[in-house]
A and B are shown apart, each in its own frame.
Chain A
Amino acid sequence: AQTVTQSQPEMSVQEAETVTLSCTYDTSENNYYLFWYKQPPSRQMILVIRQEAYKQQNATENRFSVNFQKAAKSFSLKISDSQLGDTAMYFCAFKSNFGNEKLTFGTGTRLTIIP
């Protein structure tokens, strides 16, 4: 079974700074997908970014980018020019490549952006 570990329960950073959230996972599969979801105080789960394991290029979505290290089974999220609206819980999630599969989530990192 796959496991996802987020070792930083809480982080805080000044507005406009850059912050990196860590995620490691364990799997024996070669092809899979990794996601970062954001859960703001509203509790809605919002997709931030997605990475396909077969792609060497790191995914980027505006201020959000990932550092995907397949051999190390590491998938960190970098938020550049952080904004107050980035304050949220961030969850890393793993999905098998075998089609129609569930997400396995980490325990989350609570990120606070300080004005």
Chain B
Amino acid sequence: DSGVTQTPKHLITATGQRVTLRCSPRSGDLSVYWYQQSLDQGLQFLIQYYNGEERAKGNILERFSAQQFPDLHSELNLSSLELGDSALYFCASSAGLAGGPDTQYFGPGTRLTVL
């Protein structure tokens, strides 16, 4: 158990809908990362938050947004869902240290199926 929690584990929804994925980082970690794992794109970095502020953006669609709350949990919002958004969404957390490996620990993921 990495100490990172994600809810829900599975989500099935229809095209055009909006969903929210939730992540709680390990105790003491300030950084949260979101990754998407799909069959054709592999593991892709979406977005990173550090202590409540957006730190970096990767291949995140405009239909997707995220935020990190004062208690450091994070939510990833996916809207106007398309079939191609079906994937496994991972949250990872790290201490957020400016130097060093700042190892990321992953949650169990949320499997999103868009029908």
Contact = CB atoms under 8 A, between A and B. Distances in A.
A52 B102 CA distance: 11
B45 A103 contact: yes
A12 B104 CA distance: 28
Interface residues of B, number: 29
By secondary structure, the B interface counts as strand
Given A100-B102, A102-B33, A103-B45, A43 B55 contact: no
B101 A52 contact: yes
A45 B45 contact: no
Contacts of A107: 42
Interface in A11-54: 33, 35, 37, 42-47, 50, 52
Given A95-B101, A99-B98, A108 B42 contact: yes
B45 A35 contact: no
A99 B102 contact: yes
Nearest to B31: A100
A97 B33 CA distance: 17
Contacts of A103: 33, 35, 43, 45, 92, 104
Interface in B18-72: 31, 33, 35, 42-43, 45, 48, 50, 55-56, 58
A61 interface: no
A47 B103 CA distance: 9
Contacts of B98: 99-100
Nearest to B102: A100
Contact of A44 (B33, B101, B109, B111): B109
Interface in B79-115: 88, 90, 92, 94, 96-99, 101-106, 108-109, 111
24 contacts: A37-B106, A44-B106, A44-B109, A45-B90, A45-B106, A46-B2, A47-B105, A50-B103, A52-B101, A95-B101, A99-B98, A100-B50, A100-B55, A100-B96, A100-B98, A101-B56, A101-B102, A102-B33, A102-B48, A102-B58, A103-B35, A103-B43, A106-B42, A108-B43
